Each structure stands twice: as C-alpha cells, then as structure tokens.
Amino acid sequence: EAQVTQNPRYLITVTGKKLTVTCSQNMNHEYMSWYRQDPGLGLRQIYYSMNVEVTDKGDVPEGYKVSRKEKRNFPLILESPSPNQTSLYFCASSPLAGGGKNIQYFGAGTRLSVL
C-alpha cells in the first residue's frame, strides 16, 4: 500500500530534550515536506526537500532541522524543543516529474506537546 508513515503519532516531551519525528514514504517520491498545523494559523511549511541531499527552508524553519540521506526518509529534528513548538506535524511527499498534478500525500500526523 502506497503511504507516508510518520512516527510517533503522539509525543509528550519536556523543554530542551532533543527529539526526532520520522517520516518514510514508499512511493519513490522526489519531493518531501514538513508542515505544522496550529489553530488560527492553518498549515505552514517548515522545510522541504526536492531530492536526496537537497533541503531548504519553508515559512517557519526556526528551531527545526531536517536531513535527506535516503530518498524514502525525511526526519524532522527538534534539537531543543520549546512550548511554542507544540503543534500537529505533517509530513508529505509527491513526485516532481510527470506534469502538473504531483499530488502531495500526507502522513497521519504527529501530535507533539512540549511542556
């Protein structure tokens, strides 16, 4: 089954304790992206990647890191989480070639609470 898999689905942590949210896709997609969803602010892009070893900042990259060492994986790293990073996080992937459609498929989301 084609899917984007995020882990963990739920996470409660404390300020300053490094954490990683994993994202993996089995569709051989070149493009991957992280978004966060906050009430009243909607979904905003954090980082994106056009292919292996190619990453760049989105709208709200502060406090986050990413890496793309393999095509299928795109982990989101919070080196020193703070309470304002409490949010619902989504990973998404899409192909880049083949015309305009290139739908972004989303993972199930990760609910993060930073105390």
Partner 1 sequence: AQKITQTQPGMFVQEKEAVTLDCTYDTSDQSYGLFWYKQPSSGEMIFLIYQGSYDEQNATEGRYSLNFQKARKSANLVISASQLGDSAMYFCAMRDDTGRRALTFGSGTRLQVQP
Q: Which residues bind partner 1 (CB under 8 A)?
A: 31, 33, 35, 42-43, 45, 48, 56, 58-59, 88, 90, 92, 94, 96, 100-109, 111
Please report, for residues 3, 28, 46, 67, 107, the alpha-carbon distance to residue 59 in angstroms, rounded to integers and kept in the order given: 25, 25, 6, 17, 20
Q: How many Cβ atoms are within 10 Å of 43's Cβ, its own excluded?
A: 14
Q: Which is nearer to partner 1, 40 or 80 (CB)?
A: 40
Min dist CB 17 to partner 1, Å, is 24
Q: Which is nearer to partner 1, 19 or 43 (CB)?
A: 43
Min dist CB 62 to partner 1, Å, is 16
Q: Which is nearer to partner 1, 15 or 51 (CB)?
A: 51
Q: How far apart are CA 97 and CA 101, in angstroms?
A: 9
Min dist CB 92 to partner 1, Å, is 8
Q: Which is nearer to partner 1, 26 or 80 (CB)?
A: 26
67-81: burial string, b at 16+ Cβ within 10 Å, e else: bbeeebbbbbebeeb
